[in-house]
Structure 1
Amino acid sequence: MAKQAKLDKKAAKAAQTPVDPAKMSRRRQLVETYRMTKKTDPRIGLWLLGAFLVFGVLGFVIFKVLPGSGVIEWILAVVGGLLFGTLAAMIIFGRRAQNAAYGQMEGQPGAAAAALRMLKRGWITEPAIAFNRQQDVVHRVVGPPGIVLIGEGNPTRVRQLLASERRKHERVARETPVFEVVCGRGEGEVPLPKLVRHVQKLGRNIKGAELTDVRNRLKAMDANRSAIPLPKGPVPTSMKGMRGNMRGR
């Protein structure tokens, strides 16, 4: 009995321990993402079923009218219907899962940093390069537009923090554009669901060798900073895995 109780305790502890999405299988990532989405979007199953049926029928009809005869015609129609239905369901799933993840993260410390992980290759995201006692924080993204400073927290305080960081960055990278973005729902702020798209639309101002030079300059500047911990919050861990899901990895 004592041995069984110990095994049950270990199993319960293992179930509570979060698993790194990067170490999950593709199937496990999809299951965890679905569970996360269902918490804030209870009708996700109906949406997926509806999309599969509607576009499945559409695909069936399209392939049915293609030239062919007999068994081959029906096989093509069925396969076409399955392909159309599955593709439509995955697209709907990706969009609604993304909205659900943003909804769970919004308003929590570190939410902007988690969202910026969605940026593709060619972007370097560095969370919490500046931080104050009130938990206002500035993250940095280095990419084609130049240097993008993203602040989250109290709008007034975070703008002061951004201005201070901008001056520091302009001193070490004078010819590199520096952008300031405040993540939030207020006037002049960028909502969390639109943050990544907003950053991507800032243009292309630096390339290859210039980007490497800027990164080296920033590393030298950061070496003089004291270690600043990223504020912890209940940010959904499946966001990492969902990035791969929505890219169709």
Structure 2
Amino acid sequence: MAKKDTPTDPADMSRRQQIVATYRMTKQTDKRIGLWLLGSFLLFGALGFGLFWILPGSGIIGLVMSIVGGLLFGFLGMMIVFSRRAQRTAYDRMAGQPGAAASALTMLKRGWKSDPVIAFNKQQDVVHRVVGPPGIVLVGEGNPHRVRQLLASERRKHERVASETPIHEVVVGDGEGQVPLAKLVRHVQKLGRQVKPAELTDVLARIKALDANRSAIPMPKGPVPTSMKGMRGNMRGR
């Protein structure tokens, strides 16, 4: 009987499959990931063993607790290091690809509504939208000068339907006044809480009406990076 293929969509994978897939992807560019994981396991494991060893207890029970504590600390430390290095590798692989910002925005937790590619031009500059506690966040990626024109156009459209809702503009990039891809999610989260959860429903309804009136336009050409939701679920648990 032929062996079943491993699902390519992270959402269809088991947690073990996600870990294996993430490790393989990371190892392609981070050749020392195995050494980092081994080192972090030993370091945190030794720390956990030491902490539990000095706790009240002696004999076999104290030794067993120290071993268990060392293993728990070791695995915890290893997963933290794995998460950080895997995330950095994912951002490095996505950098410069069309739709990279949209893929990064999938790392936002519950309470955020992300809509990729709500506007773009012939040069493949795009604008994504996120709605959450800060209000409406318009995220542009592409040529800084052209994308700011797109952002300004989208701001005017959103102000017509949600004039009382704060609207933020973010340009992804490594230049002055731009936000690096790896820091995009944290930057968006730090915009503050300016809209109450009860108000988000009304904001989303207004935006839905805006999108319904948009003319049907084709999606921009080119590959869009894989969503990072699978990796987030893998690293943080489900």
- Interval containing the TM-score (normalised by the shorter chain): over 0.9
- For residue 195 of structure 1, the aligned residue among 184, 193, 212 is 184
Q: Of residues 199, 202, 210 in structure 2, which corresponds to 1:210?
A: 199
C-alpha displacement of 1:230: 5.0
Match of 2:78 in 1: 89
Q: What residue identity is the alignment partner of 2:114? A: T
Find runs of 4+ consecutive structure 1 residues off by over 3 angstroms.
none
| Residues 110 and 231 in structure 1, CA contact (< 8 A), matched pair in contact too | no
Correspondence for 1:3: none
Structure 1 residue identity aligned to 2:113: I
Query: Bigger shift: 176-185 or 63-72?
Result: 63-72
- 39-48 vs 62-71, greater mean Cα deviation: 62-71
Q: Any idea what the Cα deviations from partners look like across 1:215-248, whole Å, max 9, x if unmatched?
A: 11111111111234154426245x2210112323
Structure 2 match to 1:134: 123
Aligned pairs for 1:50-61 (under 5 A) are 50-61=39-50
Q: CA deviation at 1:18?
A: 6.0
Q: Deviations over 1:15-65 (max 9, x none)?
A: 5x8621111001000000001111111111100000001111111121112
The partner residue of 1:66 within 46, 50, 55 is 55
RMSD: 1.7
> How many residues of Structure 1 are paired with residues of Structure 2 in the alignment?
237
- Aligned twin of 2:107: 118
2:229 to 225, 229, 240: 240
Secondary structure of the residue aligned to 1:148 is: strand
| Distance (whole Å) between structure 1 residues aligned to residue 158 and residue 137 of structure 2 | 10
> 1:176 aligned to 2:176?
no
Contact residue 127 and residue 139 of structure 1 kept, 8 A:
yes
| TM-score normalized with structure 1 length | 0.90
Q: Decide which moves more: 17-26 or 130-139.
A: 17-26
Structure 2: gaps of 5 or more residues? none
Question: Equivalent pairs: percent with the same residue?
Answer: 71
Q: Deviations over 1:167-216 (max 9, x none)?
A: 11111111011110000111100000000000011111111231111111
Residue type of the alignment partner of 1:245:
N
Rg (Cα) greater in structure: 1
2:14 partner letter: S
Distance 1:83 1:230 in 2: 47
Partner of 1:108: 97
- What displacement does 1:109 show? 0.1
Once the two structures are superposed, residues 72-128 of structure 1 have per-residue CA deviations (whole angstroms, 9 ceiling, x without a partner) of: 111011101101111000000000010000000011000000000000000000000
Please tell me whether the aligned partners of residues 118 and 127 of structure 2 are also in contact (alpha carbons under 8 angstroms). Answer: yes
CA contact (8 A) 2:124 2:220 kept: no
Q: Structure 1: which amino acid aligns with 2:159? A: E
Q: Which residue number in structure 1 is paired with residue 212 of structure 2?
A: 223
**Structure 1 residue ranges without an equivalent (≥5):** 1-6
Quote the Cα distance in structure 2 between the aligned partners of 1:101 and 1:159: 26
The one-letter code matched in structure 1 to 2:223 is G
